[in-house]
Structure 1
């Protein structure tokens, strides 16, 4: 029988907090990982939902790669995928295949998994100190980046890198536009580059004369410190960027003007996630406690999730108001009950 599909409703900002106040977060704990020293808030480095929101994958500093059933928090209902020999930096499901997972380790290896069989179906090595990963929207290719400023185009079916592109400055976690024709690339200089895909050439240029020694490339500028991450809203209306200056900036994708900034966070903004409707956004930071949810159209703080410690990694579910995040080294999810709205 096909799964029951329920209509998705957008919560008004006046009702957002009252919806979440009575809900408690559910811990998803791997006791064996905790006994190996997984209590540090740095242990969980990446969280990803599959396209239907029926699975959540986590990657950790202790090399643990695990896929959870959100409805069953006990570890015995999860699936551990074994094979990485170094800390896992990023995990990401194929956006068009519910059971294909990609994981990136900082030893320079990318692995592709069929989570139904636990099989590693492809592996690409030689990426150096890799730390960023993004699927193209059609699920046919990926871009991975390392700390040396190299970008690698990867195919989930080929065992070697398709192409390598050296960037002039070190880059961070990138995001695709929904057409798959552009990539938003944060840099250590605090800017965001807009590059064509797969050519990885600048898309926008200044329409006025500049000094011959300067580049004509147009950059998005919203940070006074390195830009760490970028995320495009599901509606494509806003591009959110997070910086080491503790600021999250929201750019209108029509005219590329920074419409508003969120400065209530503490520490570098390491991760950003929008709700499925693009109405709300949250950022994960490596310092402080609590998760502030912001209304994207007004910049208003609508709710704060209380946490025990810093939450570097956050991920809204792709189909409902359900937030997964890291807290003191473990996965927590709030809003699992899909029948509430």
Structure 2
């Protein structure tokens, strides 16, 4: 493990350049890579979705998708089809987009203002949550709602496990609620944090999941035992967003702190940190490389959002 840490620290000393791409006219809420890593997408308060292709040491802007009538709050790519992604918006719809035809292939009306969305690991189902804590499960092929589940607690983020047989929700009560899937029967309630539990992320290996909370802690959980194995406490502000690297070894966490923390999953040690000038809303590791996409609350001047998407981990200039 120490050899890995030395190697990765050395790697980031030589590869810590940040590339900025001006994409939107307002705050960027969500960034995500396609499953093959060839494209990055961002969704913004300006109602648009931007698609970029990853070139050797930069992003190239490929397309801007418009159609939502309100802020695009979260997006995710199809887990197996690198051309399809889905977006959740405050306009009470979700949209499925295809990068080949560069347009929306489906618009599904929902019952409220949507704030979180995820795709099942097998690609058949999309779950979307709204501001009223209603989660709707939508058939990804017919674009019809299968079922609605109303929760009596504040639902912050939703996700399937990697096997797709459990459905996880983080709550305003600091708990992680685990349901069986597809029958959505409550199985476990984990008391994870003393404060609001904001985000949840599963490692690609299937060993751990991590949660971030308003108590500024990240907790790492063993998925088979459902026990907390360690916490990461270097941030001082509510942890809004998390991402595991493709090898499951690194965890990026971000908040209103002016750094993004990069930690070793197995030890909690700091591997690197990325300086930011403003709070960070979203982070996403590339599915094959040590490149981290992120977006902050950047301003052009005092009152105008800049809508910049950043990627860290490119080789430094020779």
Q: So what's the TM-score if we normalise by structure 1?
A: 0.85
1:265 aligns with 2:223: no
State the aligned residue count: 303
TM-superposed CA distance for 1:284, in Å, is 2.1
- Aligned match of 1:305 in 274, 292, 297? 274
Corresponding residue of 1:3: none
Residues 48 and 67 of structure 2 are in contact (CA less than 8 Å); yes or no, is this contact kept in structure 1?
no
Asked if structure 2 preserves the Cα contact closer than 8 Å seen for 1:125 and 1:160, the reply is: no
1:54 alignment counterpart: 38
Superposition map of 1:123-272 within 5 A = 123-203=107-187, 218-272=188-242
- Which of residues 250, 253, 265 is equivalent to 1:280? 250
Contact 2:44 2:73 in 1 (8 A): yes
Secondary structure of 1:69's aligned partner: strand
CA deviation map 1:168-220 (0-9, x unaligned): 212111221111110111011000011111221112xxxxxxxxxxxxxx322
- Higher gyration radius (CA): 1
Deviation for aligned residue 1:22:
2.9
1:296 aligns with 2:265: yes
Which deviates further from its counterpart, 96-105 or 113-122? 113-122
Q: Among 85, 91, 107, which residue is 2:91 paired with?
A: 107
For residues 54 and 74 of structure 1, the distance between their equivalents in structure 2, rounded to whole angstroms, comes to 10
Instruction: Please say if 1:330 is aligned against 2:311.
Output: no
How many angstroms does 1:231 deviate by?
A: 0.7
For the Cα contact (< 8 Å) 1:151–1:166, is it kept in 2?
Answer: yes
Q: Distance in 2 between matches of 1:18 and 1:267?
A: 28
Match of 1:319 in 2: 288
Offset, 1:61: 0.7
Q: Structure 1 unaligned runs (5+)?
A: 1-10, 204-217
Structure 1 moving runs of 4+ over 6 Å: none
CA contact (8 A) 1:71 1:336 kept: no
Once residues 292 and 284 of structure 1 are traced to their aligned partners in structure 2, the CA distance between those partners, rounded to angstroms, is 6
Structure 1, 287-296 or 154-163: larger mean CA deviation: 154-163
Quick one: higher RCO (CA 8 Å, sep 6+), 1 or 2? 2
Aligned residue number for residue 22 of structure 2? 29
Tell me, yes or no, if the aligned pair for 2:242 and 2:283 is still in contact at 8 Å.
yes
- Partner Cα separation in structure 2 for residue 83 and residue 14 of structure 1: 47
Structure 2 unaligned regions, length at least 5: 299-306
- Is 1:44 paired with 2:28? yes
Match of 1:12 in 2: 4
Q: Is contact 1:110-1:124 (8 Å) kept?
A: yes
Give the C-alpha shift of residue 87 in structure 1.
0.3
Shift, 1:306, TM fit: 1.6
Give the Cα separation in 2 of the matches to 1:69 and 1:291: 24
Displacement, 1:128? 0.4
**CA shift in 2, pair 1:266/1:62, >3 Å:** farther
* Secondary structure in structure 2 of the residue aligned to 1:173: strand
2: CA distance between counterparts of 1:320 and 1:245? 31
* Bigger fraction of residues in strand: 2
Quote the residue 2:304 is aligned against.
none
